């Protein structure tokens, strides 16, 4: 049962990689990378259960936190780049 779940997660991770490379917009790519990170956390947890290693759950939680902080940082960066290109600055007046 858990082996089938691991295979299913790997298939979804492959689809997320395709979306990350072919996504038409930056937002699609960021969401695909976020989904890839989430599925990686699930895969680590399932593999830890299959291998009888409960300490993998700690690694999965740490990876989830790093993934969350990384995606927020990239979104802030993209937002700042978009704001600087589209809106006039006070020095322009």
Per-residue pLDDT of the chain (93 residues; tens, 9 = 90+): 888 999 999 999 999 999 999 988 888 999 999 999 999 999 999 999 999 998 999 999 999 999 999 999 999 998 888 766 655 555 655
Predicted pLDDT of residue 87: 56
Predicted pLDDT of residue 80: 87
The answer to whether residue 10 is domain-embedded is no
The answer to whether residue 6 is domain-embedded is no
Domain that holds residue 62: 15-83
Predicted pLDDT of residue 45: 93
Instruction: Determine the Cα–Cα distance for residues 69 and 31; give it in Å rounded to an integer.
Output: 14
The answer to whether residue 27 is domain-embedded is yes
The answer to whether residue 74 is domain-embedded is yes
Q: Quote the number of domains for the chain.
A: 1
Predicted pLDDT of residue 83: 65
**Could you give the angle at which helices 56-86 and 26-51 cross, rounded to 10 degrees?**
180
The answer to whether residue 91 is domain-embedded is no
């Amino acid at each position: 049962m858990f082996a089938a779940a691991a295979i299913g997660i790997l298939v979804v991770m492959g689809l997320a990689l395709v979306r990350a490379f072919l996504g038409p917009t930056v937002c699609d790519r960021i969401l695909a990378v976020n989904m890839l990170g989430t599925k990686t956390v699930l895969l680590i947890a399932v593999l830890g259960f299959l291998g009888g290693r409960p300490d993998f759950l700690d690694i999965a939680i740490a990876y989830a936190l790093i993934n969350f902080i990384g995606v927020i940082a990239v979104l802030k960066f993209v937002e700042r780049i978009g704001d600087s290109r589209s809106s006039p600055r006070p020095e322009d007046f």
